[in-house]
């Protein structure tokens, strides 16, 4: 198999954790590199809330991917050695079945009739792709941000399916600060009159709500420390300002506006709501009688690397420590990497040097 | 003079820092205790963005004030000894002239025709009250949060008018993280279709925008640490939930909703916009050729206490350190108090024990 962009049909019906089922559902995925004949060199990447399966350029799509610096020949996730798969989360509108998809039962988009989505469902859909590719055990499962929680679900639901694990900037459960932020993002979308209980169109689209949600996201994905150095109190030039009496004045405001404009129409608002809520719901402690540690102890991998960053306010470093301790208690050999990157939660997308060193070092140390 | 609620007429016209002027403007203030014949025992409190002048109960208004635990007979700010004044900020709708006030030139509310407001204007209005009361020099000027910045403006604009200073959870300038948060709060209000460029009414009121702004405020006024202990992942009881598919589910969401509901109709949205922007604009370094330290060195007080809290994400502790260092460089004897209160920026309103100990200790040590 060459580098490719593909779709995988999920078993139909596909039963969802919280009830409900999907018919004729599919997930988009992309691959890089060659699968060994014994299928022992597979690496699966599970993504954050909004990225697509396009982690890096490939033959079907030569544009740069969201983790271009990390995935490729000779890079940390070396596609000369590994067969790398990235799956677009079930429920995301980047090719997978999601609230914007047509419900075959009605011929209309699901919108809010899409069944309640959990990260366990995201994990099950990804596992279905891996199984269909003939891979019995992943050499490594990598999960970033929300994808790190999906990865924990994957390992809990499929014991023995993962040999090693890399956990990146994630958490075993959402803490109330993260829930509060995501709840407010969802509220901004839901209160937008154009949202119309999920029945928006391209012509009447909840731009306002999506813009506020995205800006709040960016504020919590980065760090105050980074911004002190990057923006300080620099003003826009007068010609860059608008006439609005409360319009953009500081560079940091313009930066957020740029992020929001690029995002608003590239992610389906209902998909955002479903994946955001799934992130709030996920909780490893459900697998351990209310104990995070006991839940994590049910995960059995040979080795793990757990990476976090001290400037992350959304998934604070103490939560990565919990994951590392739990996986170690379960018997894994665990490397815990605490970085001081200034970029906050998004450091895994920006501080490629440090993340490459950690992830590349871990993967290259794995026995064939 | 007894405890009282009063109004002070500002000189008319009252010239604003950034241009424009107000006619027949006034500020509301309240007082507690007795002014000595030599007017040497006056303490002025400048408030955060939304509180009124009602810091504590008094004869005209026996209801509890926003700093009730701190101000009163025998309390840290002891009204048996001190004559205490609290001024409602110019531009705030708690009795002072603000964008919701009637413009005498038109007979209509100012709304967005209110001149651009700065914290220097807030300070000038407060100084006008103090002067009118026959006080040549304050024994102590106390500023909390935004009021701490107004206090710095007060001392910069009126050298010699303040003998000692207590700086509480504030900053010498807004950093980009704080600007980003406030900009997003303003955007939520401005994007609310009911805002109508400031021409809302009680019947068509930007509740949605105000609710989002307040929730975002509360998120940044508190701390993730406090919420981990207080809310964790506790769910509402089923009967407390609404039927909305993305409605309230976690206690932290209900807590934010309660805060928003209590706030939305008690603060004029345009006043909020003006005071929020004034907070972004204030910058001590404007008084020091671009240097915070040089700006602060122009403030001359005998003694100061600078208090901050390690869990404050809006006004981080390093900013209180800057204030302490600058005032010390200017020749003041400075006590720097770094607290570990879990409540974040709002600790000064909640952790009365620790703030009382610091503020009460400082004030009681002052010579008569």
In this structure, whether the domain defined by A178-275 belongs to CATH 3.40.50.180 is answered with no
A252: exposed, middle or buried (C-beta count within 10 Å: 0-12, 13-18, 19+)?
buried
Tens digit of each residue's pLDDT (9 = 90 or more) over B84-139: 999 999 999 999 999 999 999 999 999 999 999 999 999 999 999 999 999 999 99
Are the C-beta atoms of A95 and A60 separated by less than 8 Å?
A: no
Please list, in sequence order, all residues whose beta carbon lies within 8 angstroms of the beta carbon of residue A318, skipping any fewer than 6 positions away. Answer: none
ipTM score assigned to the predicted complex = 0.95
Beta strands at A303-309 and A333-339: parallel, antiparallel or unpaired = parallel
Instruction: Locate A186 and state its tokens.
Output: 């969802």
Residues of B in contact with A316 (CB under 8 A): 224
Residue A209 CB neighbours (<10 A): 29
Confidence tier at A1 by pLDDT (50, 70, 90)? very low
Confidence tier at A244 by pLDDT (50, 70, 90)? confident
Instruction: Locate B116 and state its tokens.
Output: 């651009």
- Please indicate if any CB of chain A lies within 8 Å of the CB of B275: no
Report how many Cβ contacts below 8 Å link chain A to chain B. 123
pLDDT on residue B4 = 67
pLDDT on residue A242 = 79
B217-235 mean pLDDT: 95
Which ranges of chain B would DSSP assign to H, the alpha helix? Answer: 119-132, 146-157, 176-191, 207-221, 224-230, 251-264, 269-281, 292-296, 317-329, 347-350, 352-364
pLDDT on residue B243 = 79
CA of B68 to nearest chain A CA: how many angstroms apart? 28
- Mean pLDDT (chain A) is 96
Which of B180, B183, B228 is facing A175, going by the closest CB pair?
B228
SS3 A51: coil
Rounded distance between C-alpha atoms, residue A175 and residue B231, angstroms: 9
Residues of A in contact with B175 (CB under 8 A): 224, 227-228, 232-233
A329: exposed, middle or buried (C-beta count within 10 Å: 0-12, 13-18, 19+)?
middle
Indicate whether B182 pLDDT > 60: yes
pLDDT on residue A245 = 83
Are the C-beta atoms of B88 and B27 separated by less than 8 Å?
A: yes
**A4-174+283-364 — its CATH code?**
3.40.50.1820
Indicate whether B367 pLDDT > 90: no
Domain B4-174+284-364: give its CATH architecture.
3-Layer(aba) Sandwich (3.40)
Best residue in A112, A176, A292 for a mutation probing chain B (most B CBs within 10 Å): A176
Residue A132 CB neighbours (<10 A): 14
Rounded distance between C-alpha atoms, residue B121 and residue B104, angstroms: 19
- Mean pLDDT (chain B) is 96
Type and span of the H or E element at A126: helix A119-132
- Please indicate if any CB of chain B lies within 8 Å of the CB of A236: no
Please provide residue B235's backbone torsions phi and psi, each rounded to the nearest 5 degrees: -95, 155
Are the C-beta atoms of A154 and A46 separated by less than 8 Å?
A: yes
CB contact under 8 A, A173 and B256: no
- Please indicate if any CB of chain A lies within 8 Å of the CB of B242: no
CB contact under 8 A, A227 and B177: yes
Q: Which residues of B315-346 are buried (b: 16+ CB within 10 A; e: fewer)?
A: bbbebbebbbbbbbebebebbbbebebbbbbb
CB contact under 8 A, A246 and B208: no
Confidence tier at B1 by pLDDT (50, 70, 90)? very low
| Chain centroid to CA B138 | 19
Please list, in sequence order, all residues whose beta carbon lies within 8 angstroms of the beta carbon of residue B278, skipping any fewer than 6 positions away. Answer: B91, B117, B118, B119, B121, B122, B146
- Please indicate if any CB of chain A lies within 8 Å of the CB of B71: no
CA of B251 to nearest chain A CA: how many angstroms apart? 9
CB contact under 8 A, A233 and B190: no
CB contact under 8 A, B224 and A174: no
A203: exposed, middle or buried (C-beta count within 10 Å: 0-12, 13-18, 19+)?
exposed
Q: Among the options A89, A121, A345, A351, which is catalytic? A: A345
Distances (CA, A) of A58 to A27, A29, A53, A73, A360: 18, 12, 11, 11, 20
Indicate whether A194 pLDDT > 90: yes
In DSSP terms, B28 is beta-bridged to B7
- Please indicate if any CB of chain B lies within 8 Å of the CB of A204: no
A198-202 mean pLDDT: 97
Please list, in sequence order, all residues whose beta carbon lies within 8 angstroms of the beta carbon of residue B116, skipping any fewer than 6 positions away. Answer: B16, B18, B19, B20, B274
Residue B268 CB neighbours (<10 A): 23
Residues of B in contact with A219 (CB under 8 A): 177, 180-181, 184
In 3D space, the residue among B13, B170, B7 whose CA is nearest the CA of residue B88 turns out to be: B7
The angle at the Cα of B361, spanning B360 to B365, to the nearest 5 degrees, equals 115
- Please indicate if any CB of chain B lies within 8 Å of the CB of A211: yes
Residue of B nearest to A225 (CA): B177
Placement of tokens 């709501």 in the chain: A273
Q: Which part of chain B has CATH 3.40.50.1820? A: 4-174+284-364
pLDDT on residue A57 = 96
Active site members of B: 145, 312, 345
Indicate whether A337 pLDDT > 80: yes
Tens digit of each residue's pLDDT (9 = 90 or more) over A37-74: 999 999 999 999 999 999 999 988 999 999 999 999 99
Please provide residue B81's backbone torsions phi and psi, each rounded to the nearest 5 degrees: -105, -40
Please list, in sequence order, all residues whose beta carbon lies within 8 angstroms of the beta carbon of residue A145, skipping any fewer than 6 positions away. Answer: A47, A48, A49, A168, A169, A170, A315, A345, A348
Which 8-state DSSP code applies to residue A12? S
Q: Among the options A312, A341, A346, A351, which is catalytic? A: A312
CB contact under 8 A, B184 and A227: no
pLDDT on residue A238 = 87
Tens digit of each residue's pLDDT (9 = 90 or more) over B271-327: 999 999 999 999 999 999 999 999 999 999 999 999 999 999 999 999 999 999 999
Which 8-state DSSP code applies to residue A250? B
A149-153 mean pLDDT: 98
Residues of A in contact with B253 (CB under 8 A): 179-180, 183
pLDDT on residue B239 = 86
Give the HSE-up count for residue A35: Cα atoms under 13 Å, Cβ half-sphere: 20
Are the C-beta atoms of B7 and B26 separated by less than 8 Å?
A: yes
Q: Which part of chain A has CATH 3.40.50.1820? A: 4-174+283-364
CA of A149 to nearest chain B CA: how many angstroms apart? 16
Confidence tier at B242 by pLDDT (50, 70, 90)? confident
Rounded distance between C-alpha atoms, residue B76 and residue B70, angstroms: 5
pLDDT on residue B240 = 85
Indicate whether A276 pLDDT > 60: yes
Which of B183, B187, B250 is facing A179, going by the closest CB pair?
B250
- State the DSSP string of B69-92: TTEETTSSEETTT-EEEEEPPTT-
Tens digit of each residue's pLDDT (9 = 90 or more) over B159-170: 999 999 999 999
Confidence tier at B3 by pLDDT (50, 70, 90)? low
Residues of B in contact with A212 (CB under 8 A): 184, 187-188, 191, 212
SS3 A169: coil
CB contact under 8 A, B252 and A188: no
Which 8-state DSSP code applies to residue A116? P
CB contact under 8 A, B212 and A232: no
Best residue in B180, B214, B343 for a mutation probing chain A (most A CBs within 10 Å): B180
**Summary count for chain B: helices (H), strands (E):** 11, 14
Residue A239 CB neighbours (<10 A): 5
In 3D space, the residue among B19, B87, B95, B10 whose CA is nearest the CA of residue B268 turns out to be: B95
CB contact under 8 A, A174 and B256: no
Q: Which part of chain A has CATH 1.10.1740.110? A: 178-275
Which of B180, B273, B316 is facing A219, going by the closest CB pair?
B180
Which 8-state DSSP code applies to residue A341? -
Are the C-beta atoms of A46 and A121 separated by less than 8 Å?
A: no
Which 8-state DSSP code applies to residue A239? G
Residue A145 among the catalytic residues? yes
Indicate whether A359 pLDDT > 70: yes
């Amino acid at each position: 198999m060459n580098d490719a962009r593909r779709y995988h049909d999920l078993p139909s019906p596909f039963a969802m954790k919280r009830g409900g089922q999907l018919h004729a559902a599919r997930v988009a995925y992309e691959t890089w590199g060659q699968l060994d004949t014994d299928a022992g060199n597979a690496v699966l990447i599970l993504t954050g809330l909004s990225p697509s399966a396009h982690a890096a350029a490939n033959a079907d799509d030569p544009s740069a991917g969201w983790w271009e610096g990390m995935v490729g020949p000779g890079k940390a996730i070396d596609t000369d050695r590994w067969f790398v798969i990235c799956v677009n989360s079930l429920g995301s509108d980047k090719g997978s079945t999601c609230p914007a998809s047509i419900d075959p039962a009605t011929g209309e988009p699901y919108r809010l009739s899409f069944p309640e989505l959990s990260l366990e469902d995201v994990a099950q859909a990804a596992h279905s792709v891996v199984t269909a590719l003939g891979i019995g055990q992943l050499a490594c499962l990598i999960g970033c941000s929300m994808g790190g929680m999906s990865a924990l679900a994957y390992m809990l639901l499929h014991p023995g399916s993962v040999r090693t694990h890399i956990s990146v900037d994630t958490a075993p459960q959402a803490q109330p600060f993260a829930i509060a932020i995501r709840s407010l993002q969802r509220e901004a979308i839901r209160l937008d009159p154009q949202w119309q209980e999920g029945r928006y169109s391209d012509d009447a689209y909840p731009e306002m709500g999506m813009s506020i949600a995205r800006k709040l996201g960016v504020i919590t994905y980065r760090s105050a420390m980074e911004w002190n150095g990057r923006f300080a109190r620099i003003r826009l030039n007068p010609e860059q300002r608008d006439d609005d009496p409360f319009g953009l004045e500081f560079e940091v405001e313009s930066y957020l506006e740029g992020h929001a404009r690029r995002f608003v129409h590239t992610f389906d608002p209902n998909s955002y709501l479903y994946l955001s809520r799934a992130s709030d719901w996920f909780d490893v402690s459900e697998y351990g009688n209310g104990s995070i540690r006991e839940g994590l102890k049910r995960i059995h991998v040979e080795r793990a690397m757990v990476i976090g960053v001290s400037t992350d306010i959304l998934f604070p470093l103490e939560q990565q420590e919990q994951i590392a301790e739990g996986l170690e208690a379960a018997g894994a050999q665990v490397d815990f990497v605490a970085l001081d990157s200034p970029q906050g939660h998004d450091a895994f997308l920006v501080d490629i040097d440090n993340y490459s060193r950690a992830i590349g070092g871990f993967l290259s140390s794995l026995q064939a």
